[in-house]
């Protein structure tokens, strides 16, 4: 290739690249989009963005501008402030209150927020002294004095000036020189009162003597330091609960019915049932196992404000689906009234979206007997699950004993509500120890002389022996414990077509709950990301002995779990197995031991589930098992 051909090819390549780049979205397009979004934003929210310009991050602003509905914007603002609360354990949000008050004062004093005076005022509070200098030969000037600030930690003198007597006030730096303050070239500081002249000179001297130009610049930079923004994770969570769908995606209308099968305390149980067409649902196949997988996101709007938002993930085994349709069931606890329900259902396998918007009128449910759903098939499969809905009228709560470590004789008191409690049964570590038929329902238990982890339970029963309510308390486990307990289903009870899984989660004050998963045997049925942690579970036919398991996760994947066997014989006991030793002899075709094997040569399964070995040893002799008995009675002291 000669030089001319090479040059022509190179120029042609540059032209193609330039054309390609011209069609790529760039900073200009992004800025244009932001400008259009701000122009279309209602004034209320545009003013809010201006008021928090010093606090909000670029990512947060972009996320806020992407919102389409006012109730979503209101919820965003509420979350924005809650994640910046310096003392979340108190009822007040001190930063929010201070910021709003100082914003109103700054607007009153300066008329705008996009200038240096307002920025310093908002971030550091009002100055100790503010002097408005009035000199005939100077532009409008102000001198501020701070005794101390949280950011700088020392006395500070600042000077602001308005060049041309129009526009914004700027902070004066030594590099500006005094000429920037003069109305006329070559002018002097004349026509000033002595107090004003002394204030200006003091501000100039302070700026020049504070470590020079760099020192003053560093000090001023600290005054513009905004509070540390929270982690951006909260925005991901917020958008995960949005019912909006991508612009280029067409949604299918979802078939949904709403039932009110009972109440919980003063709230009505709202049960939503989404009917899924089996043929149209995406099926995920892994070997011989298939499943239908959906994520449901919902918003409950009341009086044009976001009242509740929720998110579920459903995993339905193919083997559990019979017929041309199957239901997805969710529940919320709402007070009687009018609501707007927005739902988005995503099929994770074929990326289809289903949308539903429904106005609901939540009634007052007085009857204790659960209401029967209108659809006969729904009534049949959910009969047992809905029968387990408790009204919350009858409750029992164990009073937390004082102190962290409990030994010796301990008096256990309970608080109860409801008039149908006939007897309260107390148990320690699952073993009944005492029954009391008359209030006050309290008992004294002997915990021994040394502190040990114990689980104390109080079960309230009616005159027929049916369980009405229960409470459990872990002793000697520490005050900040992450724990989960299954309230439903109940041990010893028989279920045939459906059951109601309900979990109670305890989370330490400084920790966050990420999700709760419900399992039927080892099959993940539903994932819930917010309370109430209740989920109806449909049971396969002709399967008696099974178990329901709940697992609660924190964001770092730290987890706790609980399980309950259903349809189990009375003689069954739960044992916590922490370690299993598996001895294997490998022989060749001549019946001789095979040497040189490693852990990677073995695969271990339990009930068809592959297990991960924790340890691998070559055993050359027969194992010897030694037991150690510890006397914890204190008799040897």
Rounded Cα distance, 291 and 303, in Å:
39
Question: Residue 328 in contact with residue 274, Cβ under 8 Å?
Answer: yes
Question: Residue 268 in contact with residue 334, Cβ under 8 Å?
Answer: yes
Tens-digit pLDDT profile for residues 525-549: 999 998 889 998 888 876 678 899 9
Print burial letters for 135-145: b (CB count within 10 Å at least 16), e (below 16). beebbbbbbbb
Rounded Cα distance, 274 and 327, in Å:
6
User: Residues 205, 299: one domain?
Assistant: no
Residue at which a domain ends, from 566, 599, 615: 566
Q: How confident is the model at residue 339 (pLDDT cuts 50, 70, 90)?
A: very high
Residue at which a domain ends, from 223, 239, 273: 223
- Our count of domains for the chain comes to 4
Region 279-293: mean pLDDT is 85
How far is residue 327 from each of residues 138, 235, 554, measured CA to CA in Å? Answer: 77, 31, 29
Rounded Cα distance, 12 and 163, in Å:
51
Residue 580 lies in a domain: no
Residue 491 phi, psi dihedral angles, 5° rounding: -65, 140
Tens-digit pLDDT profile for residues 223-268: 888 888 887 777 777 777 788 887 777 788 888 999 898 888 788 9
User: Residues 254, 132: one domain?
Assistant: no
**Does the pLDDT at position 90 exceed 60?**
yes
User: Residues 106, 1: one domain?
Assistant: no
Residue 633 lies in a domain: no
- One DSSP character per residue, 108-122 reads HHHS-SSSHHHHHHH
Both tokens of residue 253? 């209308």
Residue 98: which of 123, 116, 129 has the closest Cα? 123
Tens-digit pLDDT profile for residues 501-510: 999 898 887 7
How far is residue 424 from each of residues 265, 266, 414, 434, 465, measured CA to CA in Å? Answer: 21, 25, 10, 8, 10
Q: How confident is the model at residue 341 (pLDDT cuts 50, 70, 90)?
A: very high
Residue 361 lies in a domain: yes
User: Residues 109, 195: one domain?
Assistant: yes
Region 383-399: mean pLDDT is 70
Long-range Cβ contact pairs of 93-97 (< 8 A, separation 24 or more): 95/227
How far is residue 353 from each of residues 278, 345, 348, measured CA to CA in Å? Answer: 15, 6, 9
Residue 341 lies in a domain: yes
**Does the pLDDT at position 637 exceed 60?**
no
Rounded Cα distance, 308 and 355, in Å:
17
**Does the pLDDT at position 634 exceed 80?**
no
Residue at which a domain ends, from 346, 362, 387: 387
User: Residues 425, 470: one domain?
Assistant: yes
Q: How confident is the model at residue 26 (pLDDT cuts 50, 70, 90)?
A: low
Region 73-94: mean pLDDT is 88
Residue 85: which of 73, 105, 99 has the closest Cα? 99
Residue 557 lies in a domain: yes
Torsion of CA 585, 588, 591, 592, to 10 degrees: -80
User: Residues 377, 524: one domain?
Assistant: no
Residue 359 lies in a domain: yes
Q: How confident is the model at residue 213 (pLDDT cuts 50, 70, 90)?
A: low
Q: Which helix (H) or strand (E) holds 328?
A: strand 325-334
Which pLDDT score, from 0 to 100, does residue 123 have?
92
Which pLDDT score, from 0 to 100, does residue 113 have?
93
Q: What does the longest C-alpha to C-alpha distance in the chain come to?
A: 115
User: Residues 81, 165: one domain?
Assistant: yes
Residue 280 phi, psi dihedral angles, 5° rounding: -90, -15
Q: What residues have CB less than 8 Å from 623, skipping those under 6 apart? A: 581, 583
Region 406-414: mean pLDDT is 86
Region 571-580: mean pLDDT is 67
User: Residues 27, 51: one domain?
Assistant: no
Residue with tokens 């002799």: 621
User: Residues 17, 63: one domain?
Assistant: no
Residue 443 lies in a domain: yes
Determine whether 75 is exposed, middle or buried from the number of CB atoms within 10 Å of its CB (0-12, 13-18, 19+): buried
**At 334, which CATH number?**
2.60.40.10
Angle separating helix axes 43-51 and 58-66, nearest 10 degrees: 170
Tens-digit pLDDT profile for residues 457-510: 898 988 888 888 888 888 877 666 788 988 888 877 788 888 889 998 988 877
Question: Residue 159 in contact with residue 204, Cβ under 8 Å?
Answer: yes
Residue 382 lies in a domain: yes
User: Residues 124, 147: one domain?
Assistant: yes
Print burial letters for 177-206: b (CB count within 10 Å at least 16), e (below 16). eeeebbeeeeeebeebeeebbebbeebbeb
Question: Residue 189 in contact with residue 200, Cβ under 8 Å?
Answer: yes
**Start-to-end Cα distance in the chain:** 98
Torsion of CA 94, 96, 99, 103, to 10 degrees: -140
**Does the pLDDT at position 521 exceed 60?**
yes
Tens-digit pLDDT profile for residues 101-121: 999 999 999 999 999 999 999
**Does the pLDDT at position 132 exceed 60?**
yes
Rounded Cα distance, 296 and 328, in Å:
9
Q: In this structure, is the dihedral angle defined by the CA atoms of residues 75, 76, 79 and 85, taken in order, positive or negative? A: negative
User: Residues 530, 406: one domain?
Assistant: yes
Residue with tokens 């709007």: 301
Structural domain including 321 reads: 247-387
- One DSSP character per residue, 37-105 reads HHHHS-HHHHHHHHHTTTT--HHHHHHHHH--SHHHHHHHHHHHHHTT-S-TTSSS-HHHHHHHHHHHH
Region 341-370: mean pLDDT is 85
User: Residues 206, 305: one domain?
Assistant: no
Residue 273: which of 498, 461, 18, 564 has the closest Cα? 498
């Amino acid at each position: 290739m000669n030089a001319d051909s090479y040059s022509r090819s190179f120029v042609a390549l540059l032209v193609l690249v330039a054309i390609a780049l011209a069609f790529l979205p760039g900073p200009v397009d992004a800025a244009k989009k932001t400008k259009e979004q701000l122009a279309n934003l209602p004034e209320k929210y545009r003013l809010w963005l201006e008021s928090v310009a010093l606090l909000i991050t670029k990512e947060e602003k972009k996320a806020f501008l992407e919102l389409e509905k006012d109730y979503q914007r209101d919820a965003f603002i509420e979350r924005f402030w809650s994640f910046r609360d310096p003392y979340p354990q108190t009822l007040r949000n001190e930063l929010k209150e201070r910021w709003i008050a100082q914003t109103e004062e700054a607007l009153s004093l300066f008329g705008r927020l996009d200038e240096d005076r307002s920025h310093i005022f908002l971030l550091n509070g009002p100055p100790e002294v503010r002097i408005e200098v009035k000199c005939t030969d100077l532009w409008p000037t102000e001198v501020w004095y701070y005794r101390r600030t949280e950011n700088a930690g020392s006395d500070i003198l600042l000077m602001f000036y308005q060049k041309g007597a129009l526009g914004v006030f700027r902070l004066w730096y030594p590099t500006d020189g005094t000429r920037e303050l003069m109305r006329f070239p070559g002018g002097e500081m004349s026509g000033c009162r002595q107090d004003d002249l002394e204030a200006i000179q003091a501000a100039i001297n302070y700026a020049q003597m504070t470590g020079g130009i760099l020192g003053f610049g560093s000090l001023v930079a600290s005054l513009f330091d905004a509070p540390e923004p929270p982690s951006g994770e909260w925005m991901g969570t917020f958008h995960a609960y949005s019912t909006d769908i991508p612009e280029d995606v067409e949604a299918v209308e979802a078939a949904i019915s709403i039932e009110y099968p009972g109440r919980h305390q003063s709230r009505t149980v709202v049960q939503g049932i989404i009917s899924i067409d089996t043929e149209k649902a995406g099926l995920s196949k892994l070997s011989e196992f298939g499943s239908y997988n959906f994520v449901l996101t919902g918003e409950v709007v009341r009086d044009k404000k976001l009242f509740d938002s929720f998110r579920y993930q459903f995993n339905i085994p193919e083997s559990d689906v019979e017929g041309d349709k199957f239901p997805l069931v969710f529940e919320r606890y709402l007070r009687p009234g009018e609501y707007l329900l927005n739902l988005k259902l995503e099929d994770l396998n074929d990326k289809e979206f289903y949308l539903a918007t429904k106005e609901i009128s939540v009634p007052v449910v007085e009857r204790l007997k659960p209401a029967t759903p209108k659809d006969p098939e729904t009534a049949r499969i959910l009969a047992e699950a809905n029968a387990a809905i408790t009204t919350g009228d009858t409750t029992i709560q164990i009073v937390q004993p004082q102190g962290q470590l409990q030994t010796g004789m301990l008096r256990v008191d309970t608080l109860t509500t409801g008039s149908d409690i006939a007897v309260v049964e107390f148990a320690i570590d699952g073993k009944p120890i005492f029954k009391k038929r008359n209030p006050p329902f309290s008992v004294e238990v002997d915990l021994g002389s040394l502190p040990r982890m114990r689980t104390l339970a109080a079960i309230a029963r009616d005159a027929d022996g049916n369980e009405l309510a229960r409470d459990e308390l872990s002793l000697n486990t520490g005050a900040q414990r992450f724990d989960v307990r299954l309230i439903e289903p109940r041990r010893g009870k028989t279920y045939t077509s459906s059951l109601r899984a309900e979990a109670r989660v305890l989370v330490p004050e400084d920790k966050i709950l990420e999700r709760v998963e419900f399992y039927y045997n080892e099959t993940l049925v539903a994932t819930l990301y917010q309370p109430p942690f209740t989920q109806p579970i449909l049971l396969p036919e002709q399967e008696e002995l099974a178990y329901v398991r709940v697992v609660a996760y924190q964001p770092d994947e730290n987890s706790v779990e609980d399980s309950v066997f259903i349809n189990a014989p009375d003689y069954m006991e739960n044992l916590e197995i922490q370690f299993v030793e598996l001895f294997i002899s490998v022989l060749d075709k001549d019946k001789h031991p095979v040497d040189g094997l490693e852990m990677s040569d073995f695969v271990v399964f339990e009930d068809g589930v592959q297990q991960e070995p924790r340890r691998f040893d070559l055993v050359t002799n027969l194992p010897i098992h030694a037991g150690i008995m510890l006397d914890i009675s204190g008799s040897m002291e």
